[in-house]
Every structure is written in C-alpha cells, then in structure tokens.
Amino acid sequence: MTKYALVGDVGGTNARLALCDIASGEISQAKTYSGLDYPSLEAVIRVYLEEHKGRGERRLYCHRLPNYRWTGWQ
C-alpha cells in the first residue's frame, strides 16, 4: 500500500496543498486555496481531504504559522 503525506506551502495569501508519495517523493493532486476564503488552516485541510478522499490512517502534524491571521495553529 502506498503511503502519502499531506504537504503544503502556507503563505500570507494562499495555502497550497498536495500529496507526496513517501517512498518516491512524487508530488500529486496539488491544489491552491485562498486564505481569505477559510477561517482556519484546519478548514482548508478538511476541504482538501474531502476532495481527495482515500482510505487509510490519517495523522496530523502542525507547524507554527507566524505570518498569517489564522490563530491557534502551533
């Protein structure tokens, strides 16, 4: 079974999310979301995962976002 990691680039304007094949490093299913359209990073991730449904275990690791209005993510 292929294992994927949800990867992203979250900036002051957009959140870009994609799936990364852990074994090969191949990036797929990239999508860009406007930060103004969502109240939190969690909301963006939930939409992305709903749009890219799959089976398997899910784990969430967060990193601090010091330059964005979304709060509570550290």
pLDDT, position 63: 60
Q: Say how far apart CA 15 and CA 65 lie, in whole Å.
A: 11
- Is 73 a domain residue? no
Q: At 38, which CATH number? A: 3.30.420.40
* pLDDT for position 5: 87
pLDDT tens, position by position, 19-68:
999 899 999 999 999 988 998 888 999 899 899 876 566 666 666 565 66
The domain total for the chain is 1
Residue 28's pLDDT is 93
Instruction: Write the DSSP symbol of residue 58.
Output: -
Within-domain flag for 13: yes
Residue 74, domain member (yes or no): no
In a domain, residue 48? The reply is yes
Structure tokens at 17: 């999310």
Residue-range definition of the domain harbouring residue 31: 3-60
Rounded to two decimals, what is the model's pTM? 0.76
Q: How far is residue 11 from each of residues 5, 22, 30, 54, measured CA to CA in Å?
A: 19, 23, 15, 26
Residue 68 lies in a domain: no
